[in-house]
Amino acid sequence: MERKNFRSRISVVLMVFILVIVSLPLIPVINSGNIVNPAFYISAGVIVFCVLLLSGFRYVITNEQLRISTWGICIWTYSLSKIESVERSYNPLSAPAASLKRLSIKGVGIFALISPVREQEFLETLKILNPKIQINVTDKEEWWRFWDWDI
């Protein structure tokens, strides 16, 4: 099988929340009308950095490994043979995922939270390469999901 790439699902709600929190220091600077203030440029740079970081997450599955990277820089590499289970998670822990609708990958020395955009294809690929993986992923409609937006 050739290498398969999956980008991260991007949650509009999570992105807006992060941008609002990061933008709060800009409010006094904009109100003062002094955009020469270094705080303006620092905050604007942090906003651009957050958007670029969150939009760059990729998950690559090869015959033997799952690689998690951001903008081509490999962050983690996991052996597919060591993955034991994949479950749905809304865990807010920091993770290489731009959505809170995540998959929790567990195994021998493995714990990862990811959110691939083509989730079904991702799970099928994992199952083909390692049939021992237990997949427990459901898509129940919950109260926090509206218009199919994911938190």
CATH number, domain with residue 101 = 2.30.29
Q: What is the domain extent for residue 100?
A: 4-136
Structural domain includes residue 34: yes
| AA identity, residue 114 | I
Structural domain includes residue 16: yes
SS3 125: helix
- At residue 42, the pLDDT reads 77
H-helix segments, 12-131: 12-23, 26-32, 38-55, 119-129
- At residue 139, the pLDDT reads 66
Rounded distance, CA 5 to CA 1, Å?
A: 12
Q: State the pTM of this model.
A: 0.73
Asked if residue 65 lies in contact with residue 79, where contact means CB atoms within 8 angstroms, the answer is: yes
Mention every residue, 6+ apart, whose C-beta is less than 8 A from residue 83: 66, 105, 106, 107, 110, 126, 130, 133
- At residue 88, the pLDDT reads 87
Mention every residue, 6+ apart, whose C-beta is less than 8 A from residue 57: 7, 8, 68, 69, 70, 96, 97, 98, 114
- At residue 146, the pLDDT reads 55
The parts of the chain modelled with pLDDT lower than 50 are: none
Tell me which DSSP letter residue 104 carries: E
Between vectors from CA 61 to CA 67 and to CA 59, what angle results, nearest 5°?
Answer: 50
What's the number of domains the chain is made of? Answer: 1
H-helix segments, 24-113: 26-32, 38-55
Structural domain includes residue 115: yes
Structural domain includes residue 60: yes
- At residue 34, the pLDDT reads 63
Structural domain includes residue 91: yes
Q: Which pLDDT tens digit goes with each residue over 74-101?
A: 788 888 888 889 988 887 777 777 787 8
Structural domain includes residue 142: no
Rounded distance, CA 135 to CA 103, Å?
A: 10
Structural domain includes residue 147: no
